[in-house]
Amino acid sequence: MLGSPTVRLRLAASAPVAKLAARLTEVTPDGRSWLVSYGVLNLTHRDGHASPQPLEPGAFCDVELPLYLTARRLRTGSRIRLALSESLWPLLWPSPAPVKLTVELAASSLRLPVRVAVGAEPEFPIPIAPPGRAPSGRGDPVIHREVDEDGWVRFEEVWPPSRTEIAETGATLQRSGPNVELRVRPGEPESCRWRASQTSSYARGDWDCRIAVEVEVTASATTFEVRELVEARRGERVVFRREDVASVPRDLM
């Protein structure tokens, strides 16, 4: 395959605001699933992004969803799987209310951009690096996923702190984050919370300052609530602090 797969569906949603997530995967004979491409669509944007329109619950409509560009040779014996869902948390914020999608399979299709080799294949002109991972200098983030005893689904990504010495000036730079914490209770979209934080500090001699920022997003059925915090310290003394809270209409999100 070389190009953008396209999903065409005839579907109905049980609520005026709904999303569609499509994942194209290769399922190998040993049962493992490998992501090939995916795409997402806010169904209120089914006729374009300029003028979103709510859905009529229960009414069928035709939608087209192009997936991201891909280039992949499938293994012999593999199966192609298309997974459809109304949500894709934590990548997508949940819809205002739980939604059920109904798909009319007879009127739906998946188009794959199959590249047919003609004759001898030319050599690929760009050298390919051996498998591996380029060093980031900070190490990999620690990712934690869990479902606790109260039913909360939690996702955390914590980056190891970094420290840089600048010999020319004698300064030390340290950074922590960006660290991300997300949580939600299945079936309760208004419980969703997203929070990110980061701290940077700069020190030289008896001069030491630190800047910390935090952003938190929650939502009701009608609005997003955004809290932003920035704090600056010199040593342990707070020299600046500001916290803003804003309400943003969901606008069919």
**Residue 130, in any domain of the structure:** no
Do 240 and 153 sit in the same domain of this protein? yes
Do 107 and 168 sit in the same domain of this protein? no
Judged against a pLDDT cut of 60, whether residue 249 lies above it is answered with yes
Torsion of CA 52, 57, 62, 65, to 10 degrees: 60
Q: What is the pLDDT of residues 185-200, one digit of tens each?
A: 999 999 999 999 999 9
Amino acid at 197: S
Do 89 and 28 sit in the same domain of this protein? yes
Judged against a pLDDT cut of 80, whether residue 124 lies above it is answered with no
Residue 94's domain spans which residues?
A: 2-111
**Residue 149, in any domain of the structure:** yes
> For the domain that residue 98 is a member of, what is the CATH number?
2.60.120.260
Q: What is the pLDDT of residues 33-64, one digit of tens each?
A: 999 999 999 999 999 999 999 999 999 999 99
The count of domains in the chain is 2
Q: If we measure between CA atoms, which residue out of 194, 200, 212 comes closest to residue 157? A: 194
What is residue 181's predicted lDDT score, i.e. its pLDDT?
96
**Residue 125, in any domain of the structure:** no
Q: How many CB atoms lie within 10 A of CB 9?
A: 23
Do 150 and 237 sit in the same domain of this protein? yes
Residue where a domain stops, chosen among 94, 111, 128: 111
Percent of the chain with pLDDT over 90: 80
Do 65 and 156 sit in the same domain of this protein? no
For residues 172-189, average pLDDT: 93
Do 58 and 98 sit in the same domain of this protein? yes
* Residue 250: pLDDT band with limits 50, 70, 90: very high
**Residue 242, in any domain of the structure:** yes
